C-alpha cells in the first residue's frame, strides 16, 4: 500500500465517497476521504497526494476554493478532477480557469472515473 | 410548631388575593420544573434517535457498498449479496429503518450511473422496497402519494405506469408534478404524451425540471410538438414553445405564426421571441399591420427581435416608431435606424429637441 498512488477525495456525499474508496482501493490507489473542502485541504497538505478528486458544492470551503488553494497557495501541479451536478456549468468553467484538469457531471459511472484517473496518472 | 405548620398558618392569614398569587406562583413553578424535565427527556430522546439513525445509516451504507462490489460473474447474485439483500428486506419491515434504507439508496442513486445505478434499482426491487412505494400510491394523503411516485421515479420502476397514470390530473399540483417527472424521466420524449390530455396547468418550475431531464438523454429525437402548440391548455402551449426553441423545430413555423394572434398575451410574446430566434421574416407581415393595437410588451418584444428580420423596406416603419410614446420602443427604433441608414439617423439627431432622445443618441453614439 505504501507504494500505491495517493488520492484525496473531497465529497460531502458519504455513500458516494465510500463507494469510490472501495472501487479505487481495488484498483490499487490509496484514498483519503474528506467530507468538506476544509478537511480536503488539510488532507492534501498532510499527505501530498498524486491526485485530487473534488465536488464543487461542499460545506465550509467549496471545491473551487480548494482548487485555488492547491494551485495558488500550495503551487501543486497534480491533476484535479471536479465533480459537478446539473446546472453547475458555470462553476465547471470557473474550475477549469482555476486549474482543474477534468470534470465529471453527476450522475457518473465509477468505471469511467477509474479510466480517467488512470489516464491522468499515466 | 413545625415549619410547615407555620407556613400554612401564615398562608391562611393572608388576604384572599395574596393567597391566589401564592398559589399561582407555586403552580407555575411546578409547571416550569415539569417542562424542564420534559425538555430534558425530549432532548435525550432526539439525541438517542439521531445517534441510532447515524449508526444505521453508516451500517446500511457499508452493506450497500459491500453488496454492490461482492458480485460474482458466474452467478446472477452471489451468496454474500443474497445475505445482504435478505437482511435489508427484513429491515424494510420497520418504517424507521425503511426510511433510512431508502435515503441511503437514493443518496447514491442520485450521483452514480451505469452498472452501479442498475444494481441499485435491482436491489430496490429485491428488498421489497418497491412494494412499500407502490402502497404509498393508495394513501389518502397527497404528500405520501407524491413521495411514492418520487421513489418509483428515482428507482426507474416502469411497471408502475398504470398505477401512476391515475394521478395525472390529481387536484394537488405537487402530485401532478411528480407524475410528469415520472413520465419524462422514464419514457423520455415519449413520456411527453401526457401533454395531449393535460387539463391542469404545468408550473414554470416543473417545465424547467422537465426540460432539464429531457436534455440529459442521448436520444434527442423529439416527437411532433404541433398538437401541443394547438392545445387548449395555455401552459402546454407555452411549454411546447420552449421545446420548439430548444430543439429548433423549424417545421412548426406555420403554427408559430398563427400563435401571434393567440388569445393569451404571454403566448403571443413567446411566439414573437421564437420566430425572431428562427429569423422568420413573415412575422413582419402579421405584426406590422396591427402593431399599434398590440400590447406594449408585444411591441417591445417585436422590436427586440426586429434586428433578426430587418430589411431596408422597414425604414418607414422604424422612423414612425422613433416618435413612439414608449421610451424602450423609441430607443430600439433609433438603434435599428442607425443600423440600416446611418445618414437618416444623423439627420434626425441634428433636428432632435427632446432631452430623452438626446440621451438615446449620446448613448448610441458611444456604443
B287-311 tens-digit pLDDT: 999 999 999 999 999 999 998 999 8
Residue A15, in any domain of the structure? yes
B108, B113, B212: residue with CB nearest A15: B108
Round the average pLDDT of chain A to a whole number and report it: 92
A49-105 tens-digit pLDDT: 999 999 999 989 999 999 999 999 999 999 999 998 877 788 999 999 999 999 999
A26: closest chain B residue by CA: B69
Query: Best interface-test mutation with A: which of B65, B119, B212 has the largest number of A CBs within 10 A?
Result: B65
A26-41 tens-digit pLDDT: 999 999 999 999 999 9
What pLDDT does B367 receive? 74
Distance (Å, whole) CA A18 – CA A10:
12
CATH code for the domain of A13: 3.40.50.2300
CB contact under 8 A, A14 and B108: no
Phi, psi values for residue B138, rounded to 5° = -90, 0
Of B128, B116, B55, B118, the C-alpha closest to B88 is B128
Of A92, A16, A82, A12, the C-alpha closest to A51 is A82
Mean pLDDT, rounded, for B314-327 = 89
Residue A76, in any domain of the structure? yes
Distance (Å, whole) CA A115 – CA A93:
22
A41-63 tens-digit pLDDT: 999 999 999 999 999 999 899 99
CA B232 to chain centre: 23
Residue A82, in any domain of the structure? yes
Q: Chain B neighbours among A 20-39 (CB < 8 Å)?
A: 22-23, 26
B23-76 tens-digit pLDDT: 999 999 999 999 999 999 999 999 999 999 999 999 999 999 999 988 766 667
B61, B68, B110: residue with CB nearest A107: B110
CB contact under 8 A, A18 and B115: no
Close Cβ partners of A84 (under 8 Å, ≥ 6 residues apart): A55, A56, A91, A92, A95, A103, A104, A105, A106
- The boundaries of the domain holding residue A44 are 6-120
CB contact under 8 A, B69 and A23: yes
CB contact under 8 A, A23 and B108: no
Does B190 score more than 70 pLDDT? yes
What pLDDT does B75 receive? 65
The nearest CA of chain B is from the CA of A25 a distance in Å of 12
B87-135 tens-digit pLDDT: 999 999 999 999 999 999 999 999 999 999 999 999 999 999 999 999 9
Of B300, B263, B251, the C-alpha closest to B243 is B251
CB contact under 8 A, A109 and B64: no
Phi, psi values for residue A120, rounded to 5° = -75, -25
Contact B61, A22 (CB under 8 A): no
B70 vs B158: which has the higher pLDDT: B158
Contact B283, B311 (CB under 8 A): no
Helix (H) or strand (E) holding B193: none
Q: Does A13 touch chain B (CB under 8 A)?
A: yes
Of B184, B175, B176, the C-alpha closest to B153 is B184
Distance (Å, whole) CA A66 – CA A48:
14
Distance (Å, whole) CA B268 – CA B254:
14
A26, A87, A109: residue with CB nearest B112: A109
Round the average pLDDT of chain B to a whole number and report it: 91
Close Cβ partners of B184 (under 8 Å, ≥ 6 residues apart): B191, B192, B210, B213, B214
Distance (Å, whole) CA B110 – CA B62:
17
Distance (Å, whole) CA B134 – CA B145:
9
The nearest CA of chain B is from the CA of A106 a distance in Å of 5
B313 vs B349: which has the higher pLDDT: B313
B168 upstream amide cis, omega within 30 of 0: no
What pLDDT does B112 receive? 94
What pLDDT does A1 receive? 47
B79-100 tens-digit pLDDT: 888 899 999 999 999 999 999 9
Is the ipTM of this structure higher than 0.95?
no
Looking at the structure of chain A, the number of domains it has is: 1
Residue A1, in any domain of the structure? no
B210-235 tens-digit pLDDT: 999 998 887 777 889 999 999 999 99
Does B148 score more than 70 pLDDT? yes
Amino acid at each position: 500500500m505504501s507504494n500505491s498512488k495517493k488520492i484525496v477525495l473531497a465529497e460531502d456525499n458519504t455513500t458516494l465517497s465510500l463507494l469510490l474508496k472501495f472501487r479505487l482501493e481495488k484498483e490499487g490507489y490509496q484514498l483519503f476521504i474528506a467530507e468538506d473542502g476544509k478537511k480536503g485541504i488539510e488532507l492534501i497538505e498532510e499527505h501530498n497526494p498524486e491526485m485530487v478528486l473534488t465536488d464543487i458544492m461542499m460545506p465550509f470551503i467549496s471545491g473551487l476554493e480548494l482548487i485555488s488553494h492547491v494551485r495558488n497557495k500550495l503551487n501543486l501541479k497534480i491533476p484535479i478532477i471536479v465533480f459537478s451536478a446539473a446546472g453547475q456549468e458555470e462553476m465547471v468553467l470557473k474550475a477549469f480557469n482555476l486549474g482543474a484538469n477534468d470534470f465529471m457531471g453527476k450522475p457518473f459511472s465509477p468505471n469511467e472515473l477509474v479510466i480517467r484517473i488512470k489516464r491522468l496518472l499515466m | 410548631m413545625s415549619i410547615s405548620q407555620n407556613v400554612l398558618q401564615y398562608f391562611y392569614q393572608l388576604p384572599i388575593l395574596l393567597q391566589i398569587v401564592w398559589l399561582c406562583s407555586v403552580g407555575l413553578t411546578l409547571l416550569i420544573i415539569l417542562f424542564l424535565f420534559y425538555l430534558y427527556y425530549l432532548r435525550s430522546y432526539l439525541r438517542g434517535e439521531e445517534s441510532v439513525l447515524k449508526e444505521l445509516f453508516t451500517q446500511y451504507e457499508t452493506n450497500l457498498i459491500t453488496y454492490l462490489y461482492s458480485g460474482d460473474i458466474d452467478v446472477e447474485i452471489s451468496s454474500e449479496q443474497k445475505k445482504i439483500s435478505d437482511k435489508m428486506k427484513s429491515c424494510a419491515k420497520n418504517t424507521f429503518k425503511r426510511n433510512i434504507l431508502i435515503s441511503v439508496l437514493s443518496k447514491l442513486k442520485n450521483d452514480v450511473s451505469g452498472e452501479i445505478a442498475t444494481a441499485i434499482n435491482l436491489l430496490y426491487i429485491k428488498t421489497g422496497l418497491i412494494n412499500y412505494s407502490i402502497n404509498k400510491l393508495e394513501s389518502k394523503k397527497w404528500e405520501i402519494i407524491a413521495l411514492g411516485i418520487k421513489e418509483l421515479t428515482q428507482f426507474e420502476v416502469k411497471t408502475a405506469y398504470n398505477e401512476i397514470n391515475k394521478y395525472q390530473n390529481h387536484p394537488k399540483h405537487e402530485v401532478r408534478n411528480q407524475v410528469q417527472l415520472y413520465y419524462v424521466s422514464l419514457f423520455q420524449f415519449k413520456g411527453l404524451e401526457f401533454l395531449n390530455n393535460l387539463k391542469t396547468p404545468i408550473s414554470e418550475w416543473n417545465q424547467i425540471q422537465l426540460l432539464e431531464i429531457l436534455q440529459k438523454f442521448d436520444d434527442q429525437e423529439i416527437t411532433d410538438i404541433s398538437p401541443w402548440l394547438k392545445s387548449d391548455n395555455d401552459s402546454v402551449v407555452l411549454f411546447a414553445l420552449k421545446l420548439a426553441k430548444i430543439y429548433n423545430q423549424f417545421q412548426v413555423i406555420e403554427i408559430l405564426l398563427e400563435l401571434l394572434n393567440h388569445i393569451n398575451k404571454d403566448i403571443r410574446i413567446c411566439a414573437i421571441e421564437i420566430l425572431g430566434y428562427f429569423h422568420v421574416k413573415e412575422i413582419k407581415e402579421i405584426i406590422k399591420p396591427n402593431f399599434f393595437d398590440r400590447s406594449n410588451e408585444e411591441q417591445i418584444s417585436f422590436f427586440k427581435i426586429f434586428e433578426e428580420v430587418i430589411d431596408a423596406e422597414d425604414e418607414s416603419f422604424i422612423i414612425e416608431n422613433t416618435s413612439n410614446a414608449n421610451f424602450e420602443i423609441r430607443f430600439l427604433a433609433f438603434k435599428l435606424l442607425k443600423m440600416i441608414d446611418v445618414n437618416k439617423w444623423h439627420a434626425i439627431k441634428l433636428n432632435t429637441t427632446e432631452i430623452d432622445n438626446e440621451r438615446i443618441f449620446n448613448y448610441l453614439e458611444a456604443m
